Amino acid sequence: MLVAQSAFAQSTQVTGTVLDETGEPLIGASVIEKGTATGSATDFDGNFVLFVKDPASAVLQVSYVGYETQDVALKGQTKITVTLKESSALLDEVVVVGYGQQKKESVVGAISQVNSDDLLETPAANLSQAITGKIPGVITSQTSGAPGADDAQIFIRGRATFASDAQPLILVDGIERSFSQIAPDDIETISVLKDASATAVYGVRGANGVMLITTKRGKEQKPVVSLTANWQFQTPTRKDTYLDSYQSVMLLEEALANDGLPSQYSAADIEMYRKSVAGQLSGLDALLYPNVDWYDEVLKSSAPAQRYNASVRGGTKRIRYYASLEYYNQGSLFKELSNDPYGNPSSLHYRRYGFRANADFFLSKDLTLSVNFGTRFEERKGPNSREEDKHSEIYYQANHIPGWLFPVAYQAQNGETTKTLYAGTSQYQLNPYAILAESGYYKGVNTVNETNFIADYKMDWLTPGLSARAMMSFDYENYHRSLYSKSFATYELMKDNNGVPYDPTSIDSYNRFNSDGTLAHSRSSFTLYKLYMEAQLNYKRIFNQVHDVTAMVLYMQNDFRRQSELAHRYQGVVGRVTYGYDNRYLAEINVGYNGSENFAKGRRFGFFPAFSLGWRIAQESFMENTRNWLDNLKLRASYGQVGNDSYSQRFLYEQKWLQIGNDYYFGTSGQTGIFEQQYPNYAVTWERAHKYNVGLEFGLFNSTLTGNIDYFYEKRNDILTEYLTRPWWFGVSSAAGNLGKTTNQGYEIELHYNNSIGRDFNYSVGLTYSHAKNKIVAMDEPANKTGYRKREGHAIGQFFGLIADGFVTQADLDGGKLPVSTFGDVKVGDLKYRDMNGDGFIDDRDETFIGYSDIPENTFALTLGANWKGIGFSVMFQGVDHVSRYYDAEAMYAFVNGGKVKEHHLDRWNPALSEAQNLAQAKYPLLHYDSNGNHNQRQNSFFLKNGSFCRLKNIELSYTLPEKWTKHVFMSQCRFYVNANNLITWDHLDGLTDPESSGSNRYPICKTVNFGVNIQF
């Protein structure tokens, strides 16, 4: 006490106020006397009190997040007012990291960040699509464009495990949540943590990378109201290429002849099909020789969508707030064909209502309480058909049912009324038009409520720089689905023994398949509960103006429950210490000690450390001569360990038993028995990734040119793997073991150039390129397994199949050395497979590695932007390379399962041409019908496609009205824009399908044209 009094007696009290440019006080601004450890912070009114040694020579350093730091020389003054200028550049320099934030200049981990403006340049209302091409090292793969089911898969730095789907951990405002259907307008930043130094604090779940989504919060400013409206039109990126009836039956007759099967159509029939295609038939002839384009019958050429968003953002010295409302309505390509008397639709439909409110309450100069609340109501409607992200019943039937067999429907007399009879046969009973019209419908409603309650408490009274934080979150999600199903009949027009059709106007002239039923109702639902808690201590302080120290320790617990299932639980303690010396030398230690209930007691927790170093070379005195052109040069390196506990099955350490009926008999009476279904693995634990990263950051010419270059290497072991070496006579299935090993390595390049010409024109160029190549080192394959059949040594997801060495020729058949195919008879023009084991037969044992993996090794994006007097233009090209795709049968094969043919089948091996001509120009093997084509229709190198592509991913043209116009109607901004995504795609598929999809039996990926307006008040 006496010492303190003596110290104050030798000092002078200085008081002051810190304001922003609008005159509002800044709460919590830092005021430090330069050259000392003496500091203070402003209160609710922006006031501070500080004791300095000598007011005549003292210099105060005043700083606040998002504002330019200002040095104020007192020159003997003891009462001052300081006005800080807001710096948008500094706002961008704050990077979201695990359980906190850091200044970009002090970050030594591999972290990339994208903000709201970048996301809104794409018209995609699904966030998982909006990030495509915008973040280096992030690979997205969208396989479906179905409304409400169009999420893209996300991979960070490729894929390094084969035990799970390798998806990253995704956190929204610090909580694990689904994020794809959050309104893009609500997002502040998306931060991607890629190396171990950034993800070690997530320990057992950080091996696949982490994405941190941060929603917008209030600012200390006058309220800003923003209104946005978007109107969209979506069309498939690829059109169907199915042949008309005339071309189809021509190829059908050729295929039947190739197989030695009897002809189905005479020359006269074929001529009638020619007339049908030309539109020259009517009446009965049009029914007997149809030319049905099922795509045209059940699908529209485009689908509409619209999105509206309203938000308000502002705050005072005591409260900050952000609130938003969103409405999104997306239609589909399905036609409205429903005959439901109550008007329920047959077209897929997705509707989303969203509300978000984030508020910060400054209860005192030390205590802040924050509340985040987000809710969504998602409504899905559609026909009673199997419509999933990986399969669409409507598209499958439209792809499969031949258009030359029967019309869409017949009109027949049923008593005194005329009845519509949907056409079909015993083989093709699921008429897609009838599915939409008669099979019923479903309604699904998903309600999502997400809450965060946060308390921040500064404890500078205990020691400067110390603070505590606590958060609790409760999320609730309920999905309820009502299905109204109805059976329907299809009809086939009969013919007499001479092939003459019966009277099509009589209902007695038809074979009927199934029957018309009445609507039956069924329900399904599920409920999800999430409870998350964390308690955190933070420390941040600068000593002697050169020693910058921060520390964090945190306890977390996460419970996730679906219905009455046993809860998924994660629990742990994490910590971080950072040290910076003189803003030049940086060091960081991150540790996670956490675990999962998925493992046996005693093996649930693990320790995951990470270490990183950084050197800001440009700050060195020997770089003094470069500072007029070199703004930033930082070298960083890291090593650490992180885990992954994801696997398709829980509780591998438990014994599993199963009851089976009629397991044994007493006489003739069967008795129920029990057998061991799975032998447990008591030692099972998580897989562990060892990650290395070296990075270089630079900025040139006043940050006109900036860039990042990273090299990474990952060695992963203990991957959960089935026991492939355990023999069958072991007698029981074994739980997976930690047997797998992989490596993954690559590099990332990110470059940005921003400049201006004159006062009104500025432009930018951005380039990102990423390469990631993985390899399976071990997966418990038997040592004596044939080398060319092993997965070990190849990429995860590597395609395996037969190698096709061109087409079979007559010389091959006559030479007697052609291996015998076990898949069917081989003729001239069929695919010639390589006999890998030389046993004289072609079978599954000849399959070997072909092509690449299904995840691209290389990804790239080029972004161009310009602004001139309110006119804005931006364009982004995005693409992938070194990737292979194997598309579904209906997209590739001719007459598969009695199906159809496409344009590329016209380039088949044509028996009417010479062998030399076919060898020179054939692009498809000899045609066969149905199962007779089994030899060619194997997974092989001939049908494995190059999945590389380049897209015009996003393009936008905008105009912002001059302020001198908008201020007269009390607007601060009015911006009109038109943008589009997936507009043009260049690939190697010749229109077969979209290269990013997995084929045509699913809702297609679409290109979108969007018109929008944004108004701010």
Cite the DSSP H helix spans in 714-869: 810-815
DSSP string for 545-558 = TTEEEEEEEEEEEE
Cite the DSSP H helix spans in 109-199: 116-119, 127-130, 196-199
HSE (CB half, 13 Å, CA atoms) of 5? 2
Question: Which letter does DSSP use for residue 797 in this model?
Answer: T
pLDDT band at 65 (very low <50, low <70, confident <90, very high): low
Weakest mean pLDDT among 50-64, 129-143, 524-538, 868-882: 50-64
Cβ atoms of 290 and 185 within 8 Å: the answer is: no
Q: How far is CA 219 from CA 90, 117, 318, 602, 637, in A?
A: 15, 17, 11, 47, 35
In 509-533, which positions are buried (b, 16+ CB within 10 angstroms) versus exposed (e)? bbeebeeeeebeeeeeeeeeebbbe
Weakest mean pLDDT among 135-139, 531-535, 599-603, 737-741: 599-603
pLDDT of residue 889: 92
366 contact partners, CB below 8 Å, separation of at least 6? 457, 458, 459, 460, 461
Cβ atoms of 835 and 854 within 8 Å: the answer is: no
Q: Residues, the chain, total? A: 1017
Q: What would the pLDDT profile of 165-222 be if each residue is shown by its tens digit?
A: 899 999 999 999 999 999 999 999 999 999 999 999 998 899 999 999 999 999 988 9
Q: How far is CA 218 from CA 186, 225, 318, 659, 1014, in A?
A: 12, 12, 11, 59, 19
Question: Which letter does DSSP use for residue 963 in this model?
Answer: H
pLDDT of residue 89: 46
Mean pLDDT, rounded, for 610-620: 94
344 vs 363: CA distance, rounded Å? 52
**Beta-ladder partners of 592:** 574, 608
Mean pLDDT, rounded, for 860-864: 96
Where are any strands of DSSP class E within 795-923? 799-801, 804-807, 820-821, 831-833, 841-842, 848-850, 858-868, 871-881, 884-885, 908-909
CB count in 10 Å sphere of residue 129: 23
pLDDT band at 563 (very low <50, low <70, confident <90, very high): confident
Q: Residue 934, exposed/middle/buried by CB under 10 A (0-12, 13-18, 19+)?
A: middle
Amino acid, single-letter form, for residue 857:
E
pLDDT band at 6 (very low <50, low <70, confident <90, very high): very low
Q: Could you tell me what percent of the chain has a pLDDT over 90? A: 74
The helix (H) or strand (E) run that includes residue 1002 is none
Q: What share of the chain is helix, strand, coil (3-state, %, to 5)?
A: 15, 50, 35
Mean pLDDT, the chain, integer: 92
pLDDT of residue 2: 36
pLDDT band at 102 (very low <50, low <70, confident <90, very high): confident
CA 884 to chain centre: 19
pLDDT band at 662 (very low <50, low <70, confident <90, very high): confident
Q: Please determine, for residue 136, whether its predicted confidence score (pLDDT) is greater than 50.
A: yes
pLDDT band at 970 (very low <50, low <70, confident <90, very high): confident
989 vs 994: CA distance, rounded Å? 8
3-state SS assignment for residue 57 = coil
Closest by CA to 28, choosing from 9, 11, 52, 45, is: 45
237 vs 231: CA distance, rounded Å? 19
| Dihedral, 257, 259, 262, 267 alpha carbons, nearest 10 | -20
Task: Return the residue matching tokens 């002809």.
Answer: 263
CA 236 to chain centre: 19
Weakest mean pLDDT among 239-253, 277-291, 639-653: 639-653
What is the pTM assigned to this prediction? 0.87
3-state SS assignment for residue 202 = helix
Helix axes 267-277, 245-258, angle to 10 degrees: 150
CB count in 10 Å sphere of residue 272: 21
Q: What would the pLDDT profile of 295-347 be if each residue is shown by its tens digit?
A: 999 999 999 999 999 999 999 989 999 999 999 999 999 999 999 888 888 99
3-state SS assignment for residue 78 = coil
